[in-house]
């Protein structure tokens, strides 16, 4: 269980990094592009992630994860005026998440916390948020690939490079390590 906390922190860092590598490839105009009225731009998806993080991770162990001050519907209105503003908000939200998770201990993992009055163990709540953020960051990356087309710089194993990547991995001795250790 102690490894769970280390692993989950690495997973969150990994998804944060994927988002940032996508932001770095795009202009603010590209980040703000909304394909049609029912779709969300990258800035809107990011604003939603930020709002969720601030609500869920502020006073994580002692308050309901859906804060009374959260205005979820407003997260789907684009209000960012610059890429810098977006990234500053992104980093602030991730800092709240990491500040909530880093001090947790094995004995905290079975504690019950609430999200909209629904009880979750700490493990369940962490897993819920990890899945939620990876879902939305996957959307961000996908939109980025559509916008950049052939100019997209892959964030994973580049097409046609799987054999070389696997050969490198299988050249190493078997051992316990996290998949993000080599990134």
pLDDT of residue 141: 98
51 near 41, Cβ under 8 Å? no
Average pLDDT of adjacent 10-residue blocks, the chain of 183 residues: 90 98 98 94 98 98 97 96 98 98 96 98 98 98 97 92 91 87 74
pLDDT of residue 72: 97
Structural domain of residue 13, as residue ranges? 2-153
pLDDT of residue 152: 96
Q: Is residue 75 part of a domain?
A: yes
Alpha carbon distance 178, 126 (integer Å):
18
Residue 56: C-alpha distances to residues 49, 155, 178, 181 (Å): 10, 28, 26, 27
Q: How many domains does the chain have?
A: 1
Q: Is residue 36 part of a domain?
A: yes
pLDDT of residue 136: 98
pLDDT of residue 175: 87
Q: Is residue 149 part of a domain?
A: yes
Q: Is residue 96 part of a domain?
A: yes
SS3 of residue 119 by DSSP:
strand
Q: Is residue 170 part of a domain?
A: no
Q: What is the pTM of this model?
A: 0.94
User: CB under 8 Å to 179, separation ≥6 — which residues?
Assistant: none
Q: Is residue 121 part of a domain?
A: yes
pLDDT of residue 120: 98
User: CB under 8 Å to 159, separation ≥6 — which residues?
Assistant: none
Helices (H) and strands (E) in the chain, counts: 6, 2
CATH number of the domain that residue 61 is part of: 1.20.120.450
Give the CA count within 13 Å in the CB-facing half-sphere of 170: 6
Q: Is residue 45 part of a domain?
A: yes
Helices of type H across 26-82: 28-32, 42-57
Name the DSSP class of 159: T
pLDDT of residue 179: 84
Q: Is residue 95 part of a domain?
A: yes
pLDDT of residue 177: 81
């Amino acid at each position: 269980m102690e490894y769970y906390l280390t692993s989950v922190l690495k997973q969150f860092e990994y998804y944060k990094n994927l988002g940032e590598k996508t932001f770095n490839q795009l202009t603010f105009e590209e980040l703000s592009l909304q394909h049609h009225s029912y779709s969300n731009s990258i800035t809107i998806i990011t604003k939603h992630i930020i709002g969720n993080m601030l609500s869920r991770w502020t006073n994580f162990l002692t308050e309901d994860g859906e804060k009374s001050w959260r205005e979820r519907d407003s997260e789907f209105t684009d209000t960012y005026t610059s890429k810098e503003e977006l990234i500053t908000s992104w980093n602030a939200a991730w800092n709240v998440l990491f500040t909530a998770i880093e001090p947790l201990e094995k004995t905290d993992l079975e504690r019950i916390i609430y999200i909209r009055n629904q009880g979750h163990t700490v493990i369940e709540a962490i897993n819920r948020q990890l899945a939620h953020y990876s879902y939305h960051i996957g959307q961000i990356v996908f939109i980025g690939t559509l916008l950049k087309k052939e100019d997209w710089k892959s964030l994973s194993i580049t097409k046609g490079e799987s054999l070389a990547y696997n050969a490198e991995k299988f050249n190493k001795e078997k051992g316990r390590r996290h998949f993000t250790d080599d990134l």
